[in-house]
Structure 1
Amino acid sequence: MSIQAVDRALRVLRAFEAPGQEIGVQDFARLLSVHKSTASRLASTLARNGLLERVKVGQPFRLGPELRRLGTLALGRSDLVAQARPGMERLAAETGETVTLGVPEGAWQLRVIAQVNGRFLVGLTDWVGHMTALHATSDGKIVLAFRGMALGAEPLEAVTAHTITDPTVLAGQLEQARRDGWATALGEFEEGLHGVAAPILESDGRLLAALSVSGPSYRCSPERLPSMARLCAEIAAEISGRVAASAPRGGTNGS
């Protein structure tokens, strides 16, 4: 892509000045002083990459989901991590295990955006930036449970021999997670890794993120997990309160 094309793309994106604003191809052409066909190709390229979107062909464009994602990375997630870190550090200190903060991304994945390490070397993995399948992790199950996402009827991918692949069985776990306020995963994403997670919610009850604590199965036994989960849920609720208290009127900056 030429410097001129990049400059034109940036001018198109900066033309949007209000939430929900829509701009047509003819307006882009006038803005750039180019032929309508040139403006149309540029807008279509931006749309293919998620920077613009429109309901159907022939209608004006608006800012696309990729810009919202990037904006969340730049602003919302940094704010969220700052609000969550004290609680994450407390959870890691009290359990001794690795604590992560994850947010939904894409159709069926979760991205880890922050981590606080426990006091043990065994089982220590740097998860930040990793994408995980929602059905195979405790924090992913929280996303499925608290966003009410449909599972469908087809078997789910087996990440390990312990991954829950039956949608009916998983649906039962998600219902239990909604009742308890926390979810578990026992070697379902990585053999020998057990974890629990709880939701971080916006003031209106929508899911913002998932707080998780995990470690090797010999330390995080099924018998120990409920106490870890209750502490995780308690701290997640405290983080939810801090996020809500610091949010501008009308909502949070989260995704």
Structure 2
Amino acid sequence: MQTVDRALAVLLSFSTRRTEWGVMELAEEFDLDKSAAQRLLSTLAHRGFLYADPVTRRYRMGPAMWRIAGTWERRGGMALLVEPVLSELADRTSRTASFNLADGSYVRCVAAVDGGNAPMRDHPLVGELYPAHAGAASRAYFAFLSSSQRQALMYHRPLAKFSDLTSQDAHEIEREMLLVAEKGWAYSEGEYDSNTRAISAPVFVLGRPVASLSLGESKRVSLGDIREHVDPLLHTAAKLGALLSTQTPDARPS
């Protein structure tokens, strides 16, 4: 079991900052001798979880990781994981709670739960793409990227007009992004869908923004100011971040 735990800890150690391991680096990080580190990496590579670069002799994530992740997503694994948390927020606020994953220059709704008797839309939200420049769901994610990342993803392409309230001015959009990053959540009304309003918060995993959590409502229904629910929104976003942060404090052996 110790060997299994160590192998899983190695796989969980990969991130956007740590994309590969050398044998000596791994040995030092996990307090292993060189031969044990070599056997561990070689075994994971043999099973396809890692790829051994024949030139650099360093190890990167392998195709087995992609197969497992693809199977999990195709079977609705993310939605099944987050829907109970969304249900709590939807029931508490009587609004529609949705979870939106980053997808290039968009965020994509992967799970949504209606609260009360007033759904946000007359059609399903799951699968919908929200553009970076319009609406709280996307702004709550993109505001927490660096300005250079936003430049690469947003500002070198046409910005579509969805309603009279949709801004196409890159400078105005950037100012709004900075305000959202400062206060920690976003609000929109009619920017993407003229009939809805929403508040959204970023979801961080290991300190990096990966998604947004939104509370939305139809403007045709009066339930009070949706911004009164910012605190439960932020609490639930932090709860989702903890749920998705698979690298727990004791993931690595001491």
**CA displacement, residues 229-252 of structure 1 (integer Å, 9 cap, x when unaligned):** 3321121112222333675948xx
Residue 99 of structure 1, CA deviation: 1.0
Distance 1:72 1:147, change over 3 A: farther
Distance 1:158 1:90, change over 3 A: same
1:45 is matched with which residue?
none
RMSD: 3.3
Q: Does 1:17 align with 2:71?
A: no
Q: C-alpha separation between the residues in 2 aligned to 1:180 and 1:219?
A: 27
Q: C-alpha separation between the residues in 2 aligned to 1:139 and 1:97?
A: 14
2:140 is matched with which residue?
142
1:58 is matched with which residue?
none
* Paired residue secondary structure (1:128): coil
Q: C-alpha separation between the residues in 2 aligned to 1:196 and 1:73?
A: 30
100, 107, 114: which one pairs with 1:110?
A: 107
2:15 is matched with which residue?
none
Contact 1:111/1:131 (8 A) holds in 2 = yes
Q: C-alpha separation between the residues in 2 aligned to 1:119 and 1:246?
A: 35
Contact 1:194/1:220 (8 A) holds in 2 = no
Residue 82 of structure 1, CA deviation: 4.3
Q: Counterpart of 1:144 in structure 2: which amino acid?
A: F
Residue 75 of structure 1, CA deviation: 3.1
Contact 1:112/1:131 (8 A) holds in 2 = yes
What pairs with 1:58-207 in structure 2 (closer than 5 Å)? 68=66, 72-75=69-72, 80-105=78-103, 107-121=104-118, 123-124=120-121, 125-148=123-146, 149-150=150-151, 151-152=154-155, 156-203=159-206, 205-207=207-209
Q: Counterpart of 2:130 in structure 1: which amino acid?
A: T
Identity %: 18
Q: C-alpha separation between the residues in 1 aligned to 2:246 and 2:51?
A: 26
Residue 84 of structure 1, CA deviation: 2.7
Contact 2:97/2:115 (8 A) holds in 1 = yes
Q: How many residues align?
A: 194
Q: C-alpha separation between the residues in 2 aligned to 1:209 and 1:76?
A: 15
Q: C-alpha separation between the residues in 1 aligned to 2:228 and 2:83?
A: 21
Distance 1:110 1:153, change over 3 A: closer
Q: Counterpart of 1:167 in structure 2: which amino acid?
A: A
Residue 196 of structure 1, CA deviation: 1.0
Contact 2:48/2:62 (8 A) holds in 1 = no
Residue 166 of structure 1, CA deviation: 1.2
What pairs with 1:11-50 in structure 2 (closer than 5 Å)? 17-21=48-52
**CA displacement, residues 152-188 of structure 1 (integer Å, 9 cap, x when unaligned):** 3776221221112111111122112112211112111
Q: C-alpha separation between the residues in 1 aligned to 2:164 and 2:157?
A: 18
1:43 is matched with which residue?
none
TM-score normalised per structure 2? 0.64
TM-score normalised per structure 1? 0.64
Q: C-alpha separation between the residues in 1 aligned to 2:195 and 2:169?
A: 21
**CA displacement, residues 109-164 of structure 1 (integer Å, 9 cap, x when unaligned):** 12111111122245433111122212212111122112232243776221221112
2:33 is matched with which residue?
none
* Paired residue secondary structure (1:146): coil
Q: C-alpha separation between the residues in 1 aligned to 2:52 and 2:137?
A: 35
Residue 15 of structure 1, CA deviation: 8.9
Residue 211 of structure 1, CA deviation: 0.7
Distance 1:21 1:87, change over 3 A: same
Contact 1:145/1:178 (8 A) holds in 2 = yes
Q: Counterpart of 2:91 in structure 1: which amino acid?
A: A
Residue 217 of structure 1, CA deviation: 2.2
Gaps spanning 5+ residues in structure 1: where? Answer: 1-13, 25-61, 251-255
1:215 is matched with which residue?
217
